[in-house]
Every structure is written in structure tokens, then in C-alpha cells.
Amino acid sequence: MEQLKAQLTAYINDLINHDFEKLIYYLYRIDVHEQKIKQLLQQHEGENAAEILAQLIIDRQLQKIKFRQEFQSPPADNDEEKW
């Protein structure tokens, strides 16, 4: 997990420096809430913004995985119901 975070942090740093619009697009697509970003960046002023964003992205993706697992419909027991 730490390696993933380090790689993601490096990529986000690159986006911050060279293609900020793409970073905004990615955050929107991943569904990281703007208010949460602003709040965390203000609370951790002076810290590595890319690392904070990387952790937010990882947390959001894990949240989505957990949500999908919780609400996934159980497999059908009857062969007739399978398509």
C-alpha cells in the first residue's frame, strides 16, 4: 500500500506541475469531494499536497470497493435464472 501511495504521490506531483486540469478531471471522475480536499489541504497547510490527495484517492477507491461488496447481489442458486 505504501508503494502505491508513493507512486500515486509522484504522479499527482507531476500533474500539479504540468497538467493541473487533468488532475481536477481525475479527482472528479474518482469522486473525491471538493470540500474534503479543501478542508484537508487547509488543515495540513505546508505539507505535501500530492501526498494528501493520494491518500484521499486511495481512501475513496477502498470505500467504493467496500460499498460494492456490501451491496453486491448474491449469486443465483437456480440455473434457470442465469443468462
The per-residue pLDDT for range 19-66, each reduced to its tens digit, is 999 999 999 999 998 899 999 889 998 899 999 999 999 999 999 999
Instruction: Please tell me the predicted confidence (pLDDT) of residue 72.
Output: 82
Instruction: Please tell me the predicted confidence (pLDDT) of residue 74.
Output: 66
d(CA 41, CA 36): 8
CA distances (Å), 28 to each of 31, 50, 80, in order? Answer: 5, 16, 41
Between residues 31 and 73, which one has the greater pLDDT?
31
Q: How confident is the model at residue 78 (pLDDT cuts 50, 70, 90)?
A: low
Is 56:40 a contact under the CB 8 Å cutoff?
yes
Instruction: Please tell me the predicted confidence (pLDDT) of residue 41.
Output: 87
